[in-house]
Amino acid sequence: MRPFCRATFSFCEVLKMSAYKNYAQWVRHWLERKEQLVKKSTYSAYVNITVNHLIPQFGHWPLRRFNEERIQEYALLLLRHGRLDGNGGLSERSARDIIVVLKNSLREAMKLKLLPTTEISIRFPNRQERYKIHVLSKIVQQRLIQAIYLNLSNKSAGILLALYTGLRIGEICGLKWGDIDFDNKLVHVRRTLQRVYRKNLDGSGQSQIIISAPKTHSSLRSVPLSSLLIPVLRKLSSDNVDNFFLSGTIKSVEVRTFRTFFENFLRKNNIDKVNFHALRHTFATRCIEAGGDCKTVSELLGHATVNMTLNLYVHPQIEQKRKCVELLNDFF
């Protein structure tokens, strides 16, 4: 593979690159183009990464200085010393997000012939530990359900809904009563709510609430409602289909407000603290334990691929592996 620094540039290519004296100028132009093409939340993430990480590191670099080796070194640097407060490295996920933005901006430069087209393949160290998910035990799950029934409200019903449907917290905050189909016992996931801090290229910024379509096409889905949920939801339902599920009014409940409610609800009912996403993990785990196939569970969760569901939730125990091997005895 030929690195950029060894490339031979034609006279026309040099003229094109001269319009962008450094990466900072180019990436600002790239962001202006992207703003019209991606969701507001995605654009905000791109700007935050660019302002906080890419411009401070590469802003003065000429485009021709980039090559795979230097980007690989930067990826490893992020893992060791990438935190903005100077206290160590970033998580692999955060580092990957930064590298994705950098690579995307450089690929656009390649399309415009500002750089020679070449592959950029970045490797991250093998993780020693699998991502650990938190799942409520069946006893804790029953205690939580009982507490919800004893303290029923729109918000506590939101906790119950997460346990029985696996919806993400942003999807529940964006849910309206018009999304609940009582006749067909379905909940339609059509939008998600999130507060995004939008940073400007000059370093200033402000946060804003964004209600938009879910993050991927597969997240747009219809999830069947358990027969146990129907009477609970009917008791709380609103005649106005535009009212939000959690508030019962046309005003939404923010994610952080609902998350705080959840944490306080656990504490008041003497249940150990877990993050809200544990409810989604619990739903998926119970579905798998009950014999649900991975394809179905993946679609219920709105995962982009079945592999994501397999990697997170399907971990056969040694007894299950032994039983599988013993099945071969029937062939001999």
In a domain, 120, yes or no: no
Cα(324)–Cα(332) distance, rounded to whole angstroms?
Answer: 15
What's 92's domain CATH number?
A: 1.10.150
Which residue carries 């980007």 as its tokens?
71
Res. 235: pLDDT tops 90: yes
147 and 271 part of one domain: yes
At 319 the pLDDT is 59
Tell me the CA distances in angstroms from 64 to 7, 9, 285, 291, one per residue in order: 8, 9, 49, 55
Which ranges constitute the DSSP H helices of the chain?
A: 11-18, 23-35, 40-49, 55-58, 68-81, 92-111, 138-150, 154-165, 169-173, 229-236, 255-268, 277-289, 294-301, 306-313, 318-326
70 and 183 part of one domain: no
Beta bridge partners of residue 194, listed in sequence order: 210
At 4 the pLDDT is 42
Least trusted range by pLDDT, from 61-75, 221-235, 318-332: 318-332
In a domain, 331, yes or no: no
Last residue of a domain, one of 63, 96, 111: 111
Res. 283: pLDDT tops 60: yes
Q: How far apart are the first and last CA of the chain?
A: 52
CA atoms within 13 A on the CB side of 294: 12
90 and 205 part of one domain: no
What's 275's domain CATH number?
A: 1.10.443.10
Structural domain count, the chain: 2
Per residue in 303-322, pLDDT (tens digit) is: 888 888 887 776 655 556 66
At 5 the pLDDT is 39
Cβ pair 207, 196 in contact under 8 A? yes
Confidence of residue 115 (pLDDT cuts 50, 70, 90): confident
At 15 the pLDDT is 45
Cβ pair 246, 238 in contact under 8 A? no
- The helix, strand and coil proportions of the chain, stated in percent and rounded to the nearest 5, come to 55, 10, 35
172 and 301 part of one domain: yes
182 and 235 part of one domain: yes
High-pLDDT (> 90) share of the chain, %: 62
In a domain, 329, yes or no: no
166 and 261 part of one domain: yes
| Over residues 223-252, mean pLDDT | 96
22 and 142 part of one domain: no
User: How much is the pTM?
Assistant: 0.72
CB within 8 Å of 24: residues ≥ 6 apart: 55, 58, 59, 60
What one-letter code names the amino acid at 31?
L
Res. 60: pLDDT tops 50: yes
Which domain, by its residues, includes 62?
Answer: 4-111
In a domain, 250, yes or no: yes
Per residue in 116-138, pLDDT (tens digit) is: 888 899 998 876 455 577 899 99
In a domain, 131, yes or no: no
289 and 178 part of one domain: yes
Closest CA to 144 of 152, 93, 76: 152
What one-letter code names the amino acid at 67?
N
